[in-house]
A = this chain, B = another copy of it.
Amino acid sequence: MGAHLKTIFSGLQQEDLDGLLISLPSNVTYLTVYPSRDSYLLISKKECVYFTDSRYLEEARSYLAKNITLKEINGSVFKLIAENCLRIGLKRVGFEERHLPFAEYKKIKEELQGKAKLMPTHGLIEQLRQIKAPEEIEKIKKAIHITAQALEYIQDYLAPGRKEIEVVGELERFIRFHGASNSAFDIIVASGPNSSFPHHIPGTRKLQNNEPVLIDIGIDYQDYKSDLTRVFFLGKISSLVRTVYDIILEAQDRAIKGVRPAVQIKKIDALARQFITRKGYGKFFGHSLGHGVGLDVHEEPPISPYNQNTLKPGMLFTIEPAIYLPGKFGIRTEDMVLVTQKGCVNLSGPVNK
């Protein structure tokens, strides 16, 4: 936690805060390097306090750094948080406005009884998390490796007659036999026309010959996530599918070639989107080009037409152009890239493209 505290404290100082309550689990995990669930972290120059309940108490005791005070939630966590703010002598405590429900804000505020102020903050920790440290990159690479293995494996399993949900089952099993602790999100297997729904829920539809099968899969390796999409083809590929697939591959390639430090993020989105639009499919690509991946599968930075920020070395995100033709099919291919000092590397490699 030490390395980040200095940056956080200077961020807090700028907003005239003397403490910060962290409620987003992945932010707590990032700072404590311990997987947080249903827990809160209060940080200040004087003391850092971790709030958890009896389910996690024993585990937390053995894994948390010794300079973090551990408090058991036994009754109202909001009262407990407020009590500790006052005990430490904090006066202006920041909270994560995007990750604290209104009711929790209200309760903590009430419990502070006007003796300390609760102030909204925005993305303080998320900003730090955008730039991955070498040990984080190693874990993400491992997550990608397991995911790529799963995509290699499933290729031979795909056959007419298999149900989408059975393919999901095979993948869910495979990843756990190869080092994943979990999937990172609900794996998508979308066959034929189902692939035109960007977030299709896999069902009992059977794979058929002469249609695409879209698989979007990510895993969890030591709390770090991966996120890859590939389209497989059973039987013959129609010329329309081929055309759309080639456009997607080229759009992705153009975007990845543009990734390097100091480039505006919205320009990366534009590199793919403008190409797809020129080919006449712009209105069939409704979402952003990509998103950061780390402890959360969706995190900063969004690779969207609205992101005015510039790329920095250590940023790690997906590039996933797509074309969805309602009632027909959808094609999306998704890789993960890391911004380096001079350009970028495609961490997912050439698997199954």
Contact = CB atoms under 8 A, between A and B. Distances in A.
Interface of A: 35, 37, 53-59, 95, 97-106, 120, 122, 165-166, 168-170, 172-177, 181-182, 186, 196-203, 286-287, 326
State how many copies of this chain the complex holds: 2
Nearest to A166: B177
A198 B55 contact: yes
Q: A103, A177, A181, A326 — which one has the most chain B CB atoms within 10 A of its CB?
A: A103
Given A120-B102, A165-B176, A174-B169, A286 B97 contact: no
9 contacts: A53-B287, A97-B102, A98-B101, A100-B102, A102-B105, A103-B120, A169-B176, A173-B173, A181-B203
Contacts of A203: 181
Contacts of A286: 53-55, 57
Nearest to A176: B169
B37 A199 contact: yes
Contacts of A57: 286
A100 B168 CA distance: 32
Contacts of A98: 101-104
Contacts of A199: 37, 55-56
A122 B97 contact: no
Contact of A176 (B59, B168, B182): B168
